[in-house]
Every structure is written in C-alpha cells, then in structure tokens.
Amino acid sequence: MDNGLTIPAWSGRRRAEALRLVKAIGRRTNAPCCICDQPIDYSLEYPDPWSCSVQHLKSRFLFPALTWDRSNWAPAHISCNKSAGAGEASDVAPAGLGVTSDDW
C-alpha cells in the first residue's frame, strides 16, 4: 500500500550525503554543536567523538516525516549526539567510509 508516507531509512548513501551537506554548511558558517554549543572541528572525521554528525532537531522517531527535511538537520559532535538520546545513536554510524550501505 502506498499512502505517500513512505520514508526512506536514515542509512547508506543518503545519510552520507546528508552528513556531507551538514558538514559543508557548518564549515562555511562556523556553526557550533547544536547540543553543547561548543565549536566543531570540521576537519575531524568519524569515528572521532568530536567530529561532526547530523543531529535531527526533531527526533526521527517522533517526526519521521522530517527525517530528510534539511531544515531539521543540525551539526553536533558525535559524542553529544550519542548522549542526546539512545534513539538517535544510529545517526552516528559511519557515513563517510564508503559503501556501508544497506540500500546500495
């Protein structure tokens, strides 16, 4: 049944592209972590706990329709993202390491 509400999973190449976009914007605007408000070193890469990850301002679980809404994305340290809630922990899975995708 297609009710128009099918949301692609937050995974794979799409997620890698989301991270790349958030990092590019964050680097350009010098955006701090949206959780702890400290600067992010955008040269760091996963799995460094202080590298950038994509935080969903509104939880994907409560607002699945906003999973792929760019206005719902903000940069956050991986370690902050992890501690922000277990439900978001999967947001910090490797996104920049090539093909780790389950939808490849």
Residues that bind Zn ion (CB under 5 A): 33, 35-36, 77, 80
Q: Whose Cβ is closer to Zn ion: residue 18's or residue 84's?
A: 84
Check if the beta carbon of residue 53 is closer than 8 Å to that of residue 75. yes
Identify which of residues 74 and 80 has a Cβ nearer to Zn ion in the complex.
80
When CB distances to Zn ion are compared, the closest residue is 33
- Closest approach, Cβ 69 to Zn ion, in A, equals 22
Please report how close the Cβ of residue 92 comes to Zn ion at its closest, in angstroms.
12
Supply the minimum distance, in Å, between the C-beta of residue 6 and Zn ion: 32
